[in-house]
Structure 1
Amino acid sequence: MTRPSFTAQREQLRRGNFIRVVNYHSTPRAARDELATELAGFARDYAPVTLDDLDALFETGTWRKDKPGLIPVFYEGYRNSATVAAPLCDELGLTGWFPIATSFVDCDPEYQEAFARAHWISLVEEDTQGGRIAMDWDEVHDLSRRHVVFPHTAHHEGFDTVLSDADIEREVVDSKRALEAVTGQPAPAFVWLHGSSYGQSPRHDAAVKDAGYRYQFANTMIHRVN
């Protein structure tokens, strides 16, 4: 797709032809009503964005819905993403996007709090009251039937700490394989800790591309990788 000029981008924004990405992390049951109100407002003013919708936008350069698009992104793989956020998206007709740190899901529930504290995964009081903090693989599979799931590395790492070939294989490639084995679908996207952009490290960019990802999510944009 040819990169549009600033004038063309401004005109598309004026017409409402854009996608808004809203990021969430833990969505505790105690805050369900607040989240429901926020998502309901988004559902009123924006159109849901499926993977097919995103593909079509990048392939044609045209947004074909009568409202701007919304991608609500629920990070890390918290259990409450599956039990609180996803059901709200279902009720409201929104497609949720769920980047999952696969080793967090794989971790024994007894050690998930320690894993979270060691890997930059924020916890709220509800997360620390016993029981499982991360979703399980059955929940990941179920989510993939209705929403979009993709790796957020294996151990919730940034590209600046993934240095060796073995590190890259584990965080970029193995996380994809693990997710695909559960969902039975190609993982379409990838995101680093801190939302680092594609284009910051040729070596890491090549790893993401070679792994077969189509998109890399970042703090300022969604990059089309291949």
Structure 2
Amino acid sequence: MGFADYRTSLEEGRYLRVVNYHNTPASTADQLREELTAYAEAFASVTVADLDRFYATGEWGLDRPGFIPVFYEGYRNNHTVAAPICDELGLTAWFPIITRFVDCPPDEQRAFADAHDIDLVEEELSYDRLALTWDEVAEIGRRHVVVPHTGSHSPIGAIVTAADVERELVEPRRRIQEVTGQEAVANVYLYGTPFGTSDFQDRAVLDAGYRYQISNTMIQRIA
């Protein structure tokens, strides 16, 4: 695909805008609703089926540019703030969750977050828990896309053994699928490394069954 093709796609609205969010505490709910309302008015909400159709046929199939809001980590406020606002606006959001963060007993979640580059906000530090429960993950998965953000917020360079692959790529996908009853279609590394940078990890991602990889600059169809 050459530059002229890209330009034509942009001019015709055949592109996808992905906006990444992390913590969305209650104090930011009004701002988040305002932002997402503007996106919902200008863009079409994109589902996994929409992406699958585009990659299979090359047909965009939407009347506007596409939009996916992505909420990272698996914070409790994914369930109390982000998902309800997306529901109000009819947006399909993607939630990459750190499965071992969700597994943590509530009294260990702050220590886990501190040890695994998971940013917290002051207003929530006194809460009885910081992460989603698996029941909340299942509820979010009824309307939205839930995928692993690895088991423990791992960068690609930390996955070097078969045990690492099982802990960070295979088991998180299996667990999310068991809980949601939906396919966990995408892998996401800490720091957003794209597919195609390392043969070992690329093969591990494919063998685990993922079809997409989310990076800092793109959603890649990998299978």
Q: Same fold (TM over 0.5)?
A: yes
Q: Distance in 1 between matches of 2:196 and 2:57?
A: 23
Residue 202 of structure 1 is matched in structure 2 by 199
In the TM superposition, residue 24 of structure 1 has moved relative to its aligned partner by 0.2
Residue 156 of structure 2 is matched in structure 1 by 159
Q: Deviations over 1:49-80 (max 9, x none)?
A: 11111111111222111111100000010010
Q: Distance in 2 between matches of 1:61 and 1:118?
A: 43
Q: Distance in 2 between matches of 1:40 and 1:133?
A: 26
Corresponding position: 1:26 with 2:15: no
In the TM superposition, residue 6 of structure 1 has moved relative to its aligned partner by 2.1
- Return the TM-score normalized by structure 1: 0.97
2:126 pairs with 126, 129, 132, which one?
Answer: 129
In the TM superposition, residue 161 of structure 1 has moved relative to its aligned partner by 1.3
Q: Which runs of 5+ in 2 are unaligned?
A: none
1:66 pairs with 60, 63, 68, which one?
Answer: 63
Moved over 3 A (4+): none
Q: Distance in 2 between matches of 1:163 and 1:34?
A: 41
Corresponding position: 1:48 with 2:36: no
Q: Secondary structure at the match of 1:110?
A: helix
Which AA in structure 2 matches 1:18? Y
Residue 83 of structure 2 is matched in structure 1 by 86
Matches within 5 A, 1:2-17: 4-17=1-14
In the TM superposition, residue 143 of structure 1 has moved relative to its aligned partner by 0.8
Corresponding position: 1:176 with 2:150: no
Q: Distance in 1 between matches of 2:47 and 2:137?
A: 17
Q: Distance in 1 between matches of 2:166 and 2:43?
A: 37
**Count of equivalent residues:** 223
Q: Which runs of 5+ in 1 are unaligned?
A: none
Q: Deviations over 1:109-159 (max 9, x none)?
A: 111011111001111112212311111000100111100000000000001
In the TM superposition, residue 180 of structure 1 has moved relative to its aligned partner by 1.1
- Return the TM-score normalized by structure 2: 0.98
Q: Distance in 1 between matches of 2:65 and 2:127?
A: 40
Q: Distance in 2 between matches of 1:187 and 1:97?
A: 11
Identity of matched residues, % = 54
Q: Distance in 2 between matches of 1:11 and 1:85?
A: 34
